[in-house]
Amino acid sequence: MAELLQKVRVIDPVSKIDELFDVLIADGYIKEVASHIADIHSDIQIRDCQGLVLGPGLVDLYSHSGEPGFEERETLLSLLKSAAAGGFTRVSILPDTSPAIDNPALVAQLQQKRADDNLSPLLPCSPAPLLHIWGAITLDVAGKQMTELADLASAGVVGFSDGKPFENLALVRRVLEYLQPLGKPVAFWPSDRQLTANGVMREGVDALRFGLPPIPASAETTAIAAMLELVAAIGTPVHIMRVSTSRSVELIASAKAAGLPITASTTWMHLLLDTKAVKSYHTSLHLDPPLGNPSDVVALRAGVRTGVIDAIAIDHTPYSYEEKVQAFAEAPPGAIGLELALPLLWQYLVETEEFTALELWRALSTSPAECLGQKVSAILPHQPAELTLFDPQQTWKVERKSLYTLSQNTPWLGQQLKGHVVQTWC
């Protein structure tokens, strides 16, 4: 069935367009984009899209799947449903499952599950997102032995990452050397665990006020500095994950100005909240890296707007109710976000006019795809229809029955949000 979206606001970071158009979609392709499409056949479904936003499908750089090993937190099916409901047409899972995704057989098993027929009618209006899988860099918990990187690359992983800090810089150097000929992205989370120690909150006035063990900004910045030195010496492109401090933004900006082949991402919650939010002691605000001080949030937002920070990652991290119902410092760090990120970022960054719609959509779609070595098509005739239709005015309540994820670890649980994804095409 062909669909005609009339008077929809098209936001296309590829063509740098933010205008009202009629868009005709049929057979998985964009057939026509024009200010007014008059030649309408009887078999075309017409939809009045005034007030709605149409952009390229959102791309998540990294999130966590409970399956295999922690299906009570999230199954692959519930993760894909959650991603589709949040407007994502591509989602990338980290390899920290149980067992870890460190061999081609497990990669093939997960890819086959995504391809199963029972995933095709995922949501009433949205197909299953494309599933990308990060292959593990190391085999053991101590991070001392590399996986068979070439075999994983041949198995179709999107890139390589452990999604956890590296202490062994000699191994990092070896990994960068081995990965050079494979042409796959590699993502590292720079964090010095000795400096982090038992901290759970960013060092500063609020950490003192709330009586929580602090984590200095240098736990991140020293690790980034070491990583940048290795990249400068070896030349292998690297993606820096989970940037959370203002000094980190400065280091990355300087490295990019010097021509180092790096990209970087922060997470959506680090753009919205700062240490003051921890006053509630809500365990879903226990993140790793922790929420930044107000100056960090200002720098991160500026970094995303200017492109120093290339992309916004969701880092969807589901945990069961029992796991999160503990004292703040004892609860495992992480929060869900696939269904919440776009509405909240739009509400607090675009509607306040701090970001343009193009800036936000770029950081959630085309830029993360580029970090994965991929491209997103422009919203033009004859291009594949990989799209997200979003209603920035629709209100809904965040509660168990309104979420597709199996977990509820979010500080917005029970709150009314404005902005909801209507449909995706993939």
Q: Kindly report each contact of residues 302-307 with a partner whose C-beta sits within 8 Å and lies 24 or more positions away, as own/partner.
A: 302/249, 303/243, 303/249, 303/252, 303/253, 303/264, 303/266, 304/266, 304/271, 304/355, 304/359, 304/363, 305/355, 305/359, 307/367
Token pair listed for 18: 């933010």
Query: What SS3 state is found at 28?
Result: coil
d(CA 391, CA 351) in angstroms, rounded, equals 13
Contact 35, 5 (CB under 8 A): no
Catalytic residue, chosen from 96, 102, 315, 391, is 315
Cα dihedral sign, 214-325-189-341 = negative
Would you give the DSSP letter of residue 338?
T
Cα dihedral sign, 147-148-154-155 = negative
Strands (E) located in 298-367: 311-313
d(CA 137, CA 391) in angstroms, rounded, equals 40
- Our answer to whether residue 315 is catalytic in this structure is yes
Contact 268, 308 (CB under 8 A): no
d(CA 303, CA 22) in angstroms, rounded, equals 34
d(CA 210, CA 278) in angstroms, rounded, equals 8
Closest by Cα among 234, 215, 235, 214 to 223: 215
Identity of residue 4: L
d(CA 205, CA 201) in angstroms, rounded, equals 11
Identity of residue 228: L
d(CA 156, CA 160) in angstroms, rounded, equals 11
Where in the sequence numbering do the catalytic residues fall? Answer: 315
